[in-house]
């Protein structure tokens, strides 16, 4: 079997990193692999070269030769990592490979249902979580019987581990955090949608309930410096801000310095690599549910397993108080969470699942047979009973009847189709 991974480029980004982890994991399992970056090359290319993985990508003056070179490599399967949104170039690329008899698997990063021709070119749609699979299924047309399954992100679990207590306290001292202070923290890319300004009223309210608390922000968007400056000095003096960090060893240190990870994101998480990293360092997580956006954080964290899930802002504050008081929870996360993450998301675990998907695709007689094979090898499709149960698991107010109706409305195929048409039209106007 030969598997060609396709990504947009070889830059240092989250999707590119996951694609690299999975490709090298599949290679370790004895599968021939190659990679194609259709937009441009980048620094991540050297990781593939070090492992003798063939790399195809545009070179100056040779704009299309790399596609022909990849076709001559004769992949049995193309595994493309894509956003899920329509992309004309990607569609043409997939059409070219299909015309040569290649079968197509996608990792759909944002669980967006693509209503264009691309849906007919892709044999298996891999979603990152059951939540993503649920959203994608609700949005797709009833006429579309494409096969789908879960394939989570592959996490290199060896790159994150907790600091020893001496190193942990040394780092806290360097940050100006007293050893007795309970330190909440947040790490993320400096992109506003991946954060939420609600973190400040939550911290302020938790502080008002008593206790010596601190807040460490690593990689916050630049506007958060202004938000912090506008806070009362009694609160501002307890907040430490550090610029974005891309070194895993330093990140492990910051995760370890925290007593709890405070995860609030405006757009939620389609997966949440940052959550896995925190858990690998044994740091309990408080995460806010975002049912109208991406919400895979519910599954990655797990209420009472990797920390606490909050259904609203009041639930976040209750969770902040609870995690301070519940030493047993903190100890359980520290001792068990790294193994729990590894058992679900380690590179070799996810690579094994990917190979099962490839083998099912090559062996299936038709779409129905393919879906049966996929279901037998992994989790079956989520249903509304699962959706209702996971949304009730956490602290704070349960979803109201209005919120449930709004959720169903926003995930109707007709509404989604109208939204995509409007979005495409607006994009055309901007151009």
**Phi and psi angles of residue 30, each rounded to the nearest 5 degrees, phi first:** 100, 10
Residue range 2-154+346-377 forms a domain whose CATH class is alpha beta
Residue 431 pLDDT: 43
* Residue 429: pLDDT band with limits 50, 70, 90: very low
The Cα–Cα gap between 164 and 258 comes to 13
Q: What is the pLDDT of residues 190-218, one digit of tens each?
A: 999 999 999 999 999 999 999 999 999 99
pLDDT at 67 over 50: yes
Q: What is the pLDDT of residues 292-344, one digit of tens each?
A: 999 999 999 999 999 999 999 999 999 999 999 999 999 999 999 999 999 99
Q: What is the pLDDT of residues 155-181, one digit of tens each?
A: 999 999 999 999 999 999 999 999 999
Confirm if 38 and 89 have CB atoms less than 8 A apart. yes
- Bridge-partner residues for 69, per DSSP? none
Name the percent of the chain in helix, strand, coil, to the closest 5. 50, 15, 35
The Cα–Cα gap between 105 and 80 comes to 6
* Residue 371: pLDDT band with limits 50, 70, 90: very high
Confirm if 22 and 51 have CB atoms less than 8 A apart. no
Residue 143 pLDDT: 75
pLDDT at 137 over 50: yes
pLDDT at 14 over 60: yes
Residue 404 pLDDT: 86
Confirm if 341 and 324 have CB atoms less than 8 A apart. no
Average pLDDT, the chain: 93
Architecture of domain 158-339: 3-Layer(aba) Sandwich (3.40)
Q: Where are the domains of the chain?
A: 2-154+346-377, 158-339, 400-431
Burial class (CB in 10 A: 0-12, 13-18, 19+), 59: exposed
Sign of the torsion formed by the C-alpha atoms of 367, 372, 375 and 377: negative
Tokens encoding 156 = 């290199």
Look up tokens 């038709």; give the residue.
366
pLDDT at 430 over 50: no
Sign of the torsion formed by the C-alpha atoms of 151, 156, 162 and 167: negative
**Phi and psi angles of residue 235, each rounded to the nearest 5 degrees, phi first:** -95, -45
Residue 427 pLDDT: 52
Look up tokens 């307890």; give the residue.
238
pLDDT at 141 over 50: yes
Residue 421 pLDDT: 72
* Residue 64: pLDDT band with limits 50, 70, 90: low
Q: Beta strand 182-187 with 260-263: parallel, antiparallel or unpaired?
A: parallel
The Cα–Cα gap between 210 and 190 comes to 30
**Phi and psi angles of residue 309, each rounded to the nearest 5 degrees, phi first:** -100, 135
pLDDT at 98 over 90: yes
Of 373, 287, 309, 306, the residue nearest 345 (C-alpha)? 306
């Amino acid at each position: 079997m030969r598997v060609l991974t396709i990504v947009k480029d070889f830059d240092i980004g989250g999707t590119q990193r996951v694609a690299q982890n999975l490709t090298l994991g599949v290679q370790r399992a004895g599968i021939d692999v190659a990679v194609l970056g259709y937009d441009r090359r980048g620094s991540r290319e050297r990781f593939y070269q070090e492992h003798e993985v063939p790399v195809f990508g545009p070179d100056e003056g040779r704009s299309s030769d790399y596609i022909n070179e990849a076709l001559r490599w004769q992949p049995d399967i193309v595994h493309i990592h894509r956003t899920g949104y329509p992309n004309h170039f990607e569609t043409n690329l997939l059409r070219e490979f299909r015309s040569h008899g290649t079968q197509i698997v996608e990792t759909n990063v944002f669980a967006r249902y693509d209503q264009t021709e691309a849906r007919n070119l892709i044999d298996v749609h891999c979603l990152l979580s059951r939540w993503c699979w649920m959203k994608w299924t609700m949005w797709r047309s009833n006429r579309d019987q494409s096969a789908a399954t879960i394939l989570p992100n592959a996490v290199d679990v060896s790159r994150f581990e907790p600091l020893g207590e001496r190193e942990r306290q040394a780092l806290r001292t360097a940050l100006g955090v007293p050893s007795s202070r309970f330190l909440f923290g947040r790490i993320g890319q400096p992109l506003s949608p991946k954060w939420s300004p609600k973190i400040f009223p939550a911290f302020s309210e938790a502080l008002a309930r008593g206790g010596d608390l601190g807040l460490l922000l690593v990689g916050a968007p630049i506007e958060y410096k202004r938000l912090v400056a506008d806070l009362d000095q009694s609160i501002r003096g307890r907040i430490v801000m550090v610029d974005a960090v891309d070194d895993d060893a330093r990140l492990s240190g910051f995760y370890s310095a925290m007593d709890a990870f405070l995860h609030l994101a405006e757009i939620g998480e389609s997966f949440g690599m940052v959550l896995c990293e925190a858990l690998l360092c044994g740091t309990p997580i408080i995460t806010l549910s975002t049912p109208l956006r991406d919400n895979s954080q519910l599954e990655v964290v797990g209420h009472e397993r990797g920390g606490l899930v909050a259904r609203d802002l009041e639930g976040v504050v209750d969770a902040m108080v609870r995690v301070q008081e519940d030493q047993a929870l903190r100890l359980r996360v520290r001792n068990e969470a790294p193994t729990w993450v590894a058992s679900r998301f380690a590179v070799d675990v996810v690579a094994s699942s990917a190979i099962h998907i490839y083998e099912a695709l090559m062996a299936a007689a038709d779409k129905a047979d393919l879906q049966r094979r996929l279901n037998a090898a992994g989790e079956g499709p989520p249903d509304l009973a699962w959706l209702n149960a996971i949304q009730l698991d956490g602290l704070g107010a349960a979803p109201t009847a209005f919120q449930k109706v709004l959720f169903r409305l926003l995930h109707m195929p007709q509404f989604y189709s109208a939204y995509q048409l409007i979005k495409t039209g607006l994009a055309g106007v901007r151009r």
